[in-house]
Amino acid sequence: MQYRTLGRTGVQVSTLALGAMNFGRIGNTTQDEATAIVDAALDAGINLIDTADMYSNGQSEDIVGKAIAGRRDDIVLATKATMPMGDERNHRGSSRRWLVTALDDSLRRLGVDHVDLYQIHRWDPDTSDEETLSALTDLQRSGKIRYFGSSTFPAYRIVQAQWAARDHHLSRYVTEQPSYSILQRGIEAHVLPVTEQYGMGVLAWSPLASGWLSGAVREGRQIATNRSTFMPERFDTTIPSNRARLDAVERLATVADDAGLTMIQLALGFVTAHPAVTSAIIGPRTLDHLHSQLAAAETVLTADVLDAIDAIVAPGVDLAAHEKFDTPPALLDASLRRRATAIR
């Protein structure tokens, strides 16, 4: 396993991180199965575990807490908040009111007195940066969190948050967690230059592109991944963006074969090759999945392989841009990009 410094924190983390989204109902992974995955991941040298309160409505945190009991000090533990936790309108978002409560709930489920990294799961347009950063700074000073970061923030919001921290003399986001894979390279054009500028650590989620790069998705095969069962539209090859992904996968498979690599090694090696990326978050549902992904822990792609990938999916290009979660609200709501008609 390789290790890198998480931004400018001085904390050393493995280049593969264990994501726990599949623990519980989402991935149908039981406590015993998840504990075995955690055991094997730690034995292989992974020292960063990432979860979130909304994964299976808290079940993932419960499972992680039981799996790491007795060895918490050896783990860099990360979780997230802001996504809805029930129907109550204030049980979501990044207000001080909710973050203080959400963190206490996460600590209880995890069975710990602090987390190393607390992340804002999505940018909350209804809450000011000062409100959120002030709450996070106070939680940090109380000892309940060591550092805090953002997740899937648009580049301009990352910059705005850095400025707000400076202007109000508050602690700042030290990490960003964006979606990044060979098939979704848009962050290379805007997010990664910003994180490099501010010395932020980057934890890339979905490096296997929801299973597209797992090796299980190929032309002429029935697509059967965990994501395809509850998000079938992402794998409907009659949709042009999905057809483009499948065509790219076929060409990438040839690159992997020629290099003597599996598709998983190619995909994870690509993500960790970027100098701005600290770790790629893997999300195995089974031990077999974990072992196939751990095989990429020492993968270093050569320049000719990276060039071949660039020829298939150009730098900075998303093959399914509509699936990104960092789209500015004005692109989704027509009323936000039109001036109100003056009343005469």
Q: What are phi and psi of 204, to 5 degrees?
A: -85, 125
Q: Look at residue 340 in the predicted model and tell me its pLDDT.
A: 74
Q: Report the run of H or E that residue 331 belongs to, with start and end.
A: helix 329-332
Assess contact for 170 and 138: CB atoms under 8 A.
Answer: no
Statement: residue 229 has pLDDT above 60: no
Rounded CA-CA distance 309/242 in Å is: 18
Is pLDDT of 101 > 90? yes
Kindly state the average pLDDT of the residues 327-334: 77
pLDDT confidence band for 333 (50 / 70 / 90): confident
Q: Each residue of 258-293: pLDDT tens digit?
A: 999 999 999 999 999 999 999 999 999 999 999 999
Backbone angles phi, psi at 119, to 5 degrees: -115, 140
Q: Choose the catalytic residue: 55, 147, 173, 180.
A: 55
Question: Which residue from 128, 24, 6 is spatially nearest to 66, judged by alpha carbons?
Answer: 24
Domains and CATH numbers, the chain: 3-211+264-298 (3.20.20.100)
> What is the model's pLDDT at position 218?
85
pLDDT of residue 337: 84
pLDDT of 233: 81
Query: 45: which residues sit within 8 A by CB, 6+ positions away?
Result: 1, 14, 297
Which band of pLDDT confidence, cut at 50, 70 and 90, is reported for residue 5?
Answer: very high
Q: Would residue 55 show up in a list of annotated catalytic residues for this protein?
A: yes
What is this structure's pTM? 0.93
Please give the helix or strand (H or E) that residue 146 lies within, else none: strand 145-151
Smallest CA-to-CA distance from 50 within 110, 125, 113 is with: 110
